[in-house]
Chains A and B, each alone.
Chain A
């Protein structure tokens, strides 16, 4: 009987102890907790330092995608209207965020490391149409020393789609 009362009092003590401790809550919209480096959030389409897009419209990401979330439509590059090195660029690049499972296979499949799953996880929308993220939304800003695409370049400079072979990072 007395043991029971002591146990009850101990329970009350624990809750009172927590009452005087600061809460562990992080006030989310004001304070955002940094994610891990390898966190797989929203995709980004990367650029080279000169501003050209890395994506060459090869559709390997769409092929690798287990959820069939990616749609790529390629078009021809010319030296007057150059978007990316090589022959072709992605004219349409869409990812359906309702289908995407953030597995990162597209990132693995990409030969130019154009698509990278970055750290943005705030992907809410009100209707299905706005779930489709287009190329404008996914592509990163032009770097400081680069020029926006399409660029007019000298002929014969950007002949190779993959300018130099890099080891995957």
Chain B
């Protein structure tokens, strides 16, 4: 394929995958509400839409009750009045929700969804992604996730409200603190695979996921990703009890919804990144024979990641601000730096052949 054809292919695939993920976002909200409800001994949304299923007793059973809830939410949000506060900075106020959403979608560009599917992937590339073969993919992810903090901070500042500004300040402080630990833990799969290309990292995990080689890095990444997402227990910037709602107090309607869209899309994309970097990405049994299975495995891994995040939200109370900073700077950062250095030293030693006798002994 020529460059132009590949660009067109990327556009089409990007559109389709974005639509898939936006639908996925809608159902992630439903998943979160349902799972949280069940963990709190409630039922959760079960009124909007069901599939009637006749039973033998004559009474019909309601299957999947509530599956139209995301549509109902969207309709409600679109029809709400959406005022801009009089003293808000009009341009920045309206720009901020988009600044939050766009990076959340952009992250998905580099995630490999499946292996080489003949006919669906250009022959130059070895895996299915919106932008396959990007050789700085991990760097791209780190850069784009850093942009998304602007959405929150600018929203807080432009609202011209004290609560919103406090939320924004907390967001930026938290992002800066946890970004370091996250970057250092992301670098470990990069060092192990000796590439920043996500597809190469996935293929390097053939047979052994990096979570087994580097559980510390995986745990640090999970914690830092939760903080990066500003989800419980790190959701200080929208602490209802302290800041009423944090950075999005002044927003209403779909612009308010867009912040949630950003949050849930980032949940999906960070689950996908965690799956790709530490849990073998699209790899699973028989994926080499049937490459389409890659989609299934990655979706399954994303689902598990989402479930874990919701589970954590249902379980743990919010951290205090000083605890958050203490944990970020005095625990996560030193541990990840030490871990990083150990991995670097081991890789050099392995390249020098120091571990060859041991490796031979265990039959690697």
Instruction: Report if A and B associate in a common complex.
Output: yes
Chain A contact residues, CB within 8 Å of chain B: 8, 11-12, 14-16, 18-19, 21, 23-25, 27
Nearest-neighbour CB distance to chain A for B199, whole angstroms, equals 33
Q: CB-defined interface of B286-321 with A at 8 Å, one 1/0 digit per residue? A: 000000000000000000000000011011100000
Q: In the complex, which residues of chain A have a beta carbon less than 8 angstroms from the beta carbon of B37? A: 23
Bound CA–CA A24/B43 (angstroms)? 8
A-contacting residues, B31-55, CB 8 Å: 35, 37-43, 46
Partner of A11, one of B35, B41, B43, B316: B316
Looking at A8, A11, A15, A16, the one whose CB has the most chain B CB atoms below 10 A away is A15
The residue of chain B having its C-beta at the shortest distance from the C-beta of A21 within the complex is B41
The residue of chain A having its C-beta at the shortest distance from the C-beta of B46 within the complex is A27
Across the interface, do B43 and A27 meet the contact criterion of CB distance under 8 Å?
yes
Partner of A25, one of B35, B43, B314, B315: B43
Across the interface, do B312 and A19 meet the contact criterion of CB distance under 8 Å?
no
Partner of B43, one of A8, A16, A19, A23: A23
Across the interface, do A23 and B41 meet the contact criterion of CB distance under 8 Å?
yes
Across the interface, do A18 and B40 meet the contact criterion of CB distance under 8 Å?
yes
Across the interface, do A24 and B41 meet the contact criterion of CB distance under 8 Å?
yes
Q: In the complex, which residues of chain A have a beta carbon less than 8 angstroms from the beta carbon of B316? A: 8, 11
Across the interface, do A19 and B35 meet the contact criterion of CB distance under 8 Å?
yes
Nearest-neighbour CB distance to chain A for B143, whole angstroms, equals 32
Nearest-neighbour CB distance to chain A for B332, whole angstroms, equals 14
Q: List 20 A-B contacts (CB under 8 A).
A: A8-B316, A11-B316, A12-B311, A12-B315, A15-B39, A15-B311, A15-B315, A16-B39, A18-B41, A19-B35, A19-B39, A19-B311, A21-B41, A23-B37, A23-B38, A23-B41, A23-B42, A24-B42, A25-B43, A27-B43
The residue of chain A having its C-beta at the shortest distance from the C-beta of B38 within the complex is A19
Bound CA–CA A21/B39 (angstroms)? 9
Nearest-neighbour CB distance to chain B for A2, whole angstroms, equals 14
Across the interface, do A16 and B311 meet the contact criterion of CB distance under 8 Å?
yes
Bound CA–CA A21/B315 (angstroms)? 16
Partner of A18, one of B38, B43, B46, B312: B38
Nearest-neighbour CB distance to chain B for A18, whole angstroms, equals 5
